[in-house]
Structure 1
Amino acid sequence: MHMTRPHQAATGLTGALALWAVATRVWLKMTGADLTFLWAVWDLMLYFTILTNAAIAAVFVWLAVRGRAGSARLHAGLVVPIVITGAVYHLLLADTNDYTGLDLVVDHMLHSVVPVLTVLHWAVFAPKGDLGFADMLIWVGYPTVYVVYALTRASFDGIYPYHFLNAAEQGWPVTLGWIGGIGAGFLIIGGLLVAAARIRPLA
């Protein structure tokens, strides 16, 4: 399906802002920690926030350039993790950071602005007609792979991206409890998206 001009503009704006936020975070990492570009990218690839914002940047910019709407599953598959990103950050992580200046701007962009814009984009523009509850099992695959990846990296270098994944410090029962709780959040958000799409298929 081809985009209307407002649809294309909204998609391009959301993708551009996500791209700017990720690129600026990489630059800040390079300058703040005196790292090369590749090492900065490798360090930041540990974080679910960066991976999810990068995915939104890539997909939205690509769709805007092509002028194509993309599939309902693709859009919902991006909305679910970015909503969880914002929710987990504001509920569990926001108080652990003391960013100022450009760091603070980028932090808000990654955890607040891009999530809100992505949800609004989905509500107004994204196709929704063929979403089903079975899609929730596909969407939960992304965080599952991420958790395996993050814990595998941590087993080698001891660096955990988030305190609730730190099995070495809090033990596996607590860590698995956090993973299960956040996984349930994915299913709940996914279910709400499917229900909203069925009740009011806006596009």
Structure 2
Amino acid sequence: MVAWLGVISQFYTSVPAYLAKGRTLGGTLVELFSFFTIQTNTLVAVCFTAAALGSTQSAFFKRRGTLTSVAVNISIVALVFNLVLRSTYHPVGLASLSNELVHVITPALFIIYWLAFVPKDNINWKDGFSWLWYPASYLVYILMRGAICGLYPYFFLDAGKYGYPRTALNIGVLLIVFLIMDMLYIFIAKLINRYFGA
């Protein structure tokens, strides 16, 4: 419920602001879903929902590999915002609460859920490389979209402003960070499984 509240409140506070600037509803929805924060919080909400409902039809979102990958990505969301972007964004009112939900509270809840309830066996080092498909695909999409419409959701991905060589360097650094986080989570999983596994 908290995860869905965060996503829904982001749309509730952001859509009117975009429309007030003359954006179309379709363009606004595409813009919002172009934020890694929105996409990943939505994945968290879906994973929580799958766990709560226990449906076999949503088995993919209950796999330990999927849940670990999502935990990595929501951790990156929290780290990048709180270490890099927080000083550049100062929402007020409901937007402030919504911001804390998607960047602090939901990430913390999902990390706790992963630590306490997700099985840690059969998570291997090679899995960390396969988990890169999601952030890599996202980054390719952002560059393609930016080349077409000139809009970039994060300043460090703005190829129009910094040029492609600088942006490519930023992307390389980001992917290394993702891989390091993948390996950190795998290490933690192996440690937990070693000392607390069945």
2:82 corresponds, among 90, 94, 116, to: 90
CA distance in 2, matches of 1:22, 1:168: 29
Alignment of 1:98-117 (within 5 A): 98-117=90-109
What SS does the corresponding residue of 1:200 show, helix, strand or coil?
Answer: helix
CA distance in 2, matches of 1:72, 1:123: 11
Identity, % of aligned positions: 29
Alignment of 1:38-187 (within 5 A): 38-66=26-54, 70-187=62-179
The alignment's TM-score, normalised by the length of structure 1, stands at: 0.86
Deviates more, 1:26-35 or 1:105-114: 26-35
CA distance in 2, matches of 1:171, 1:19: 36
Q: What is the count of residue pairs matched by the alignment?
A: 188
> Which structure 2 segments of 5+ residues have no match?
none
CA distance in 2, matches of 1:192, 1:74: 16
> Which structure 1 segments of 5+ residues have no match?
1-15
Per-residue CA deviations over 1:47-88 (Å, capped at 9, x if unaligned) read 000000011111211221117792210110100111111111
CA distance in 1, matches of 2:92, 2:166: 32
Do the aligned partners of 1:21 and 1:106 also contact (CA within 8 Å) in 2?
yes
